[in-house]
Copies of this chain bind each other. A is one copy, B any other.
């Protein structure tokens, strides 16, 4: 770490910092510059205590980290791209996967119709929320276990793999029975207890970026999963919260490229949440493919105008079909194969 002292710090003040650096387990290396002294603290930042607490000293101006804070998720920790096997569907590498389905599971009819429709049009994984994190307690909260039963039915009928969100540590076990991928939503992106519990399930986990999460924090959330023994992790960019109000979130496509550079894990893009508007989903799917995403998570509903949640961002079957068709040349340009 680098400790920058204020200009005009006295020699005893500098010595104090040097001693604290040593006490906290680093080898101090002072550099006396033109105007300010800097103390380089040599040591492994991931083993020793952080020196950021030295900011509490009045003579310290700033403390800067040198090393990256994540290890297992970083590209250096793996030999090439990780390919996550979702019960036979391989996510990552040259493959491109489409996960599609309704925001919420609303009924057997609704889910089965959607499952058949998205399967026919190119999806290999079915999404559908049984437990829904809703901003208001008065909104539809999902069908719960009945939703899981319907998802399982759809899996058996169509052969599609299932992804569904888990909201509670207590639900991990039974959600893991119905699901092939556990989804951790943006609101739980730093619910570390839930992350640890999902890690222990040994199911593949799709980890959404929190709506206010810096890329470093997103990587560290994934690190929680790997450090707790689960390396079948899919990262998912779903838009961040900014000042812009035209869209519900600002889809950060650069973050996809960055996550691919920083990490060996596959990266999925959720354009539905990413913009919150059905009319933009199609074009954002192209953008996602072009910047190197490994797959998409798309909300599809038989009749979006009457959906029980987030109808405004769900596309209907025909739009979904067009979307997949029009995506093909971009997948080809990106050297990807739809699985």
A279–B6 Cα distance when bound, in Å, is 14
In the complex, the answer to whether A23 meets B64 with C-beta atoms within 8 Å is no
Q: Tell which of B50, B168, B244, B305 touches A240, judged by Cβ atoms closer than 8 Å.
A: B244
A245–B66 Cα distance when bound, in Å, is 15
Is A162 interfacial (CB 8 A cutoff)?
Answer: no
Which residues of the partner chain B approach A215 to less than 8 Å between Cβ atoms? 244, 246
Q: Residue on B with the closest CB to A140?
A: B49
User: Chain B nearest CB: distance from A299 CB in Å?
Assistant: 11
A56–B308 Cα distance when bound, in Å, is 13
User: Chain B nearest CB: distance from A130 CB in Å?
Assistant: 14
Is A139 interfacial (CB 8 A cutoff)?
Answer: yes
In the complex, the answer to whether A193 meets B168 with C-beta atoms within 8 Å is yes
Is A123 interfacial (CB 8 A cutoff)?
Answer: no
A148–B57 Cα distance when bound, in Å, is 29
Is A252 interfacial (CB 8 A cutoff)?
Answer: yes
In the complex, the answer to whether B64 meets A64 with C-beta atoms within 8 Å is yes
In the complex, the answer to whether B254 meets A305 with C-beta atoms within 8 Å is no
In the complex, the answer to whether A7 meets B76 with C-beta atoms within 8 Å is yes
Q: Residue on B with the closest CB to A335?
A: B329
In the complex, the answer to whether B279 meets A261 with C-beta atoms within 8 Å is yes
Please name 9 further chain A to chain B contacts, defined as beta carbons within 8 Å, in addition to the given A54-B312, A188-B191, A250-B252, sorted by A numbering: A23-B306, A53-B305, A136-B220, A169-B169, A191-B194, A210-B212, A212-B212, A250-B254, A251-B253
